[in-house]
């Protein structure tokens, strides 16, 4: 089950479970769409995998399986991807 992390690892933007702006890799590293596209070029800086839109969990399932409250933030920030 997806962890649904609450923030962007680069800029710390809030990404609630219902947000369409959340992007993830296969390891669930989580980024906002702005950082994922503009800063990272669609590539996860942690694993090198591609970033895709995080699926939305239906509200009824959120009650039974709540999103994570654990915030992950890259202390050094995210590296700018070469174009």
- Asked whether residue 5 is domain-assigned, the answer is yes
CATH code for position 49: 3.30.40
- Asked whether residue 75 is domain-assigned, the answer is no
Q: How many structural domains are present in the chain? A: 1
Check: pTM over 0.85? Answer yes or no.
yes
For residue 54, give the nearest of 79, 69, 33, 81 by alpha carbon.
33
| pLDDT tens digits, one per residue of 24-75 | 999 999 999 999 999 999 999 999 999 999 999 999 999 999 999 999 998 8
What is the span of the domain harbouring residue 49?
Answer: 1-61
- Asked whether residue 81 is domain-assigned, the answer is no
- Asked whether residue 45 is domain-assigned, the answer is yes
d(CA 33, CA 58) in angstroms, rounded, equals 21
- Asked whether residue 47 is domain-assigned, the answer is yes
């Amino acid at each position: 089950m997806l962890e649904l992390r609450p923030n962007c690892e680069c800029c710390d933007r809030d990404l609630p479970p219902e947000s369409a702006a959340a992007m993830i890799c296969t390891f669930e590293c989580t980024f906002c769409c702005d950082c994922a596209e503009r800063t990272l070029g669609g590539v996860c800086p942690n694993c090198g995998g591609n970033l895709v839109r995080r699926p939305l969990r239906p509200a009824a399932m959120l009650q039974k399986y709540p999103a994570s409250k654990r915030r992950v933030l890259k202390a050094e920030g995210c590296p700018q991807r070469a174009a």
